[in-house]
Amino acid sequence: MEAFESFVALAMEDEGLVVSSGVKFPVTRRTAKAQHEETQTHGFEVDLVAANAHKLVLTSVKSFFGSRGVVAEHVEGSAGGTPARLYALLNDPEVRAQVIDGACKRYGYDTSQVEMRLYVGRFAAPAKGTNEQRVREWAAATEAGSGPIKVYGVAEVVEIVRRVASSKQYRDDAALVALKVLDATGHLKPLPPS
């Protein structure tokens, strides 16, 4: 599991969800061959799959801490090419529908119980409007499963994980231990009162 994914998993576990990483779902698509009809099946990976008795959450996690960040045109799919394909789970209706259907069949949920989420470590610096605002607006208008795609930023994730880390109960988790070490050495701002 990628490092930011482990932070996200902790935040999701705090919701009472059981979390699994890196699950692939087969998606069958028609190829571009004009001479005859042909299909290919590829596995599309969902970074984190989380569930409880009432819902199934399919999650795409993009950290991009060491790069430009998440760009709205890539998430929306309007950029085309490789950048847009990195977000096919979210922006390609055919891929999204087949993954949701496959997850429902595999885990025994109804489409009305499926929630799709995007967790972002870093949004790209503003170009035309803010990338974060544009991604959140696009996601709010994009239906997937039981409703619109939900978007969470790093600040939202860290706030939850800091609260989890403040618990005195021991958990052997690298992300929690990292926060506890930073807090113990005075490198973190104090948590606001809850």
Q: Nearest to residue 138, comparing CAs of 72, 80, 82, 85? A: 72
Beta strand spans in the chain (E): 18-30, 39-51, 56-62, 114-120, 143-144, 147-148, 150-153
| Rounded Cα–Cα distance for residues 58 and 56 (Å) | 7
The shares of helix, strand and coil residues in the chain, as percent rounded to the nearest 5, are 40, 25, 35
Chunked into runs of 10 residues, the chain (194 residues) has average pLDDT values of: 89 96 92 79 95 98 93 94 93 97 98 98 81 96 97 94 86 86 88 72
Q: Nearest to residue 1, comparing CAs of 119, 103, 89? A: 119
Residue-wise pLDDT tens digits, 138-194: 999 999 999 999 999 999 999 999 999 888 787 888 888 888 888 889 898 887 776
pLDDT for the residue 128 = 58
Please give the model's pTM, rounded to 2 decimal places. 0.90
Domains of the chain, start order: 3-156 (3.40.1350)
pLDDT for the residue 19 = 97
pLDDT for the residue 41 = 92
